[in-house]
Structure 1
Amino acid sequence: MVRPSAKVVLISAIGSGQGKTTTTAALARKLVKLGKTVRVFKTGPDFIDPMMLERACGSVVHSLDLWMVGQVDSERMLARAALDADVILIEGVMGLYDGNPSSADLARAFGVPVMAVLDASAMAQTVGALAMGLRDFGPVHLAGVIANRIASEGHAKMVAAAMRDIPLLGSLRRQEETLPERHLGLVLPQEVDRIDAILDTMASSLELDMQAWDALPDTSFELHEHASHHILQHASQAASLTGKTIAIARDAAFAFIYPANLECLRGLGAELVFFSPLADEAIPTQADALYLPGGYPELHARTLTQASNWLTSLHAAHVQGMPILAECGGMMAITEGLVDQQEQSWPMAGILPGKVIMQKRLAALGPQAWATSQGELRGHTFHYSRFETTLTASSHTTKHSTQHSTQQQGEAIYRNANVCASYFHAYFASNPAATAALFLRDAT
Structure 2
Amino acid sequence: MDAAVSLPAQAVARCPALLIAAPASGQGKTTVTAALARLHARQGRRVRVFKCGPDFLDPHWLQLASRAPVHQLDLWMNGEADCAQRLHDAARDADLILIEGVMGLFDGSPSAADLAQRFGVPVLAVVDASAMAGTFGALTFGLRHYRPGLPWAGVLANRVGSARHADMLRDGLQDADDWMGALMRVQAAGHAPAAAKAAAALLPERHLGLVAAHELDDSLQRLDAAADALAATPLGQMGLDELQRWTVDFPAPALPPAVPPLLAGRTVAVGRDAAFCFIYAANLQCLQQMGARVEFFSPLRDANLPDCDAVWLPGGYPELHATQIAANTGTQASLRAHVAAGRPLWAECGGMMALFESITLADGSTAPLWGLLPGRVAMQKRLAALGPQQLALAGHTLRGHTFHYSTCDSSAPVVARTARPHESAAPDAGEALYRQGSIHASYFHAWFPSSPEAVAQLLGGASA
Q: Same fold (TM over 0.5)?
A: yes
Deviation at 1:374, TM superposition (A): 3.5
- Match runs of 1:39-438 below 5 Å: 39-139=48-148, 140-165=150-175, 166-177=177-188, 178-206=202-230, 207-209=232-234, 210=237, 214=243, 216-223=245-252, 227-228=255-256, 232=258, 234-235=259-260, 240-284=262-306, 286-400=307-421, 409-438=429-458
Q: How far does the alpha carbon of each residue in 1:258-295 deviate from its partner, in whole angstroms, 9 at most, with x for none?
A: 100001000000000000011133110x2000000000
Bigger Cα displacement from structure 2, 161-170 vs 352-361: 161-170
What residue ranges of structure 2 are gaps of 5+ in the alignment?
1-9, 189-201
Kindly indicate whether the alpha-carbon contact (under 8 Å) linking 1:328 and 1:424 is maintained by their aligned counterparts in 2: yes
Kindly indicate whether the alpha-carbon contact (under 8 Å) linking 2:374 and 2:412 is maintained by their aligned counterparts in 1: yes
Q: How far does the alpha carbon of each residue in 1:69-122 deviate from its partner, in whole angstroms, 9 at most, with x for none?
A: 011010100010001111100000000000000100011110111000000100
Deviation at 1:369, TM superposition (A): 0.4
TM-score normalised by length of structure 2:
0.90
CA distance in 2, matches of 1:442, 1:162: 62
SS of 1:330's partner is helix
- 1:392/1:316 Cα in 2 relative to 1: closer, same or farther (>3 Å)? closer
Kindly indicate whether the alpha-carbon contact (under 8 Å) linking 1:38 and 1:85 is maintained by their aligned counterparts in 2: yes
1:18 matches 2:24: no
Deviation at 1:31, TM superposition (A): 1.6
Kindly indicate whether the alpha-carbon contact (under 8 Å) linking 2:265 and 2:293 is maintained by their aligned counterparts in 1: yes
Identity of aligned residues (%): 48
Deviation at 1:412, TM superposition (A): 0.5
CA distance in 2, matches of 1:248, 1:194: 27
- 1:365/1:378 Cα in 2 relative to 1: closer, same or farther (>3 Å)? same
CA distance in 1, matches of 2:135, 2:244: 25
- Paired residue type of 1:199: L
CA distance in 1, matches of 2:68, 2:424: 41
Count of residue pairs the alignment pairs up: 433
- 1:390/1:443 Cα in 2 relative to 1: closer, same or farther (>3 Å)? farther
- Paired residue type of 1:180: P
CA distance in 2, matches of 1:295, 1:144: 36
- Paired residue type of 2:450: S
Deviation at 1:158, TM superposition (A): 1.8
CA distance in 1, matches of 2:212, 2:367: 23
CA distance in 2, matches of 1:308, 1:335: 14
TM-score normalised by length of structure 1:
0.94
Kindly indicate whether the alpha-carbon contact (under 8 Å) linking 1:370 and 1:378 is maintained by their aligned counterparts in 2: yes
What residue ranges of structure 1 are gaps of 5+ in the alignment?
none
